[in-house]
Amino acid sequence: MNITKEELKHIANLSNLYFSDEELEKYTKDMSSVVEFANELSKIDTQGVEITTSILGEYNIFRKDEVKESFDRDILLQNAPEQGDGMFKIPKVIG
């Protein structure tokens, strides 16, 4: 199955990835072969088979909603590419 360049642009946009025209060519070609490989699955009959939602049986994990010590803000901010006034800095979002 062939993926078109337009389809790849759409998927890239959903993935928050940007590609140059040259890269678009390459990734479109790669994706076509990978999707073709994934299409093998259409050959197997799964009529009446349930989907797997949990590997070791279904159960929920509950815990008490307790106040606990969390991470130190300054330490966490040390990994931020840009920060100020104890906050992460990003470009202006609202016009």
Give me the residues that bind other proteins (CB under 8 A), please. Answer: 3, 8, 11-12, 14-19, 27, 30-31, 33-35, 37-44, 46, 49-53, 55-56, 61, 63, 71-72, 75-76, 78-82, 88, 90-91, 93
Q: How far is the CB of 82 from other proteins (least distance, A)?
A: 7
Q: CA–CA separation, 21 vs 42, rounded Å?
A: 32
Positive or negative torsion for Cα 58, 62, 68, 72: positive
User: In this complex, which beta carbon is closest to other proteins, that of residue 86 or of residue 91?
Assistant: 91
Residue 81 CB neighbours (<10 A): 7
